[in-house]
Amino acid sequence: MALKIQELELQTILQNFMAGIKADYDSRTTKTESVIGQMFNGLSYDNGKYDLFAQAVSLFITRMDPAVAGSPRKVSIRSYYDKDRENVPTMHIAAPSEQEKDNWIGGGFVSSTNHAHLIPTENANDNTFYEKRIRRYQTRIAIIFTSDNWIEVQLMYFLVKYGILAIFDTLILDMFQNPHVSGHELKMNDTAAGEHFYSRSIIIDSANEAVVPNFHLTESFSSLVFPRSNDETSGAHGDGYNEDPIDPSLTLNIEVLK
């Protein structure tokens, strides 16, 4: 099984979510009953000057049509922060930062995603290892919305922020365990060229699991990278590693030094 990379997984989730938004709208006879209709119909800015439902249809439906696929104003979802698209509607996924809380590495696990218990396996040298290694840790990942149009930023922000609630099960099953979602305010940013763009972000804090094969079970790999020796004087793990029991007098001396 290939590695799962959190920002790529989130990019796929958002791409599928946006495709579903358009498919739902296209299938509706009464457009106000669509997902974006239920979210934005009847809302406006500046005392009705900007109808958010009409703006959402333009941003999420009309521009997403294959006929206008080359439009620079089409919403794009990046798995990194793309400075070249700060001034056009873009969802940038910032690489996750790892937190110190609940950060550990182990072998064998009961996964909250598939409830599978992995049993230790013996290799040819009668050493017992788990088939997989797991690392569980807390991550913080950001979705940053940018455009030179503040209404477009607001529409992307609210669609995704509240859309996450609708696809909550998908997040849990796809590397975002026990997620907590928070938002940051709308800001205007200046560029080096003197132009400006608006930004707003959503932060997702969650638990994550990284599962990899245990290379100790591959004898050819183990013998090359992790050389072992049967020489009793050097210990089972090779020169410089001694598995003999700790001398009780040494333990006593350590206690005295304390």
pLDDT digit string (tens) for 2-35?
A: 677 888 989 999 999 999 999 999 999 999 999 9
Q: HSE (CB half, 13 Å, CA atoms) of 181?
A: 16
Q: Rounded to whole angstroms, what are the CA distances from 256 to 96, 211, 245, 247, 248?
A: 46, 43, 20, 15, 12
Cα dihedral sign, 59-35-52-195: negative
| Nearest partner of 231 among 222, 220, 241, 219, judged by Cα | 241
Find out whether 119 and 142 touch, Cβ atoms under 8 Å.
no
Q: Which two tokens stand for residue 204?
A: 């997702």
Report the pLDDT value the prediction gives residue 6, as an integer from 0 to 100: 84
pLDDT in tens, 101-121: 666 666 544 444 443 434 444
Look up the pTM and report it: 0.74
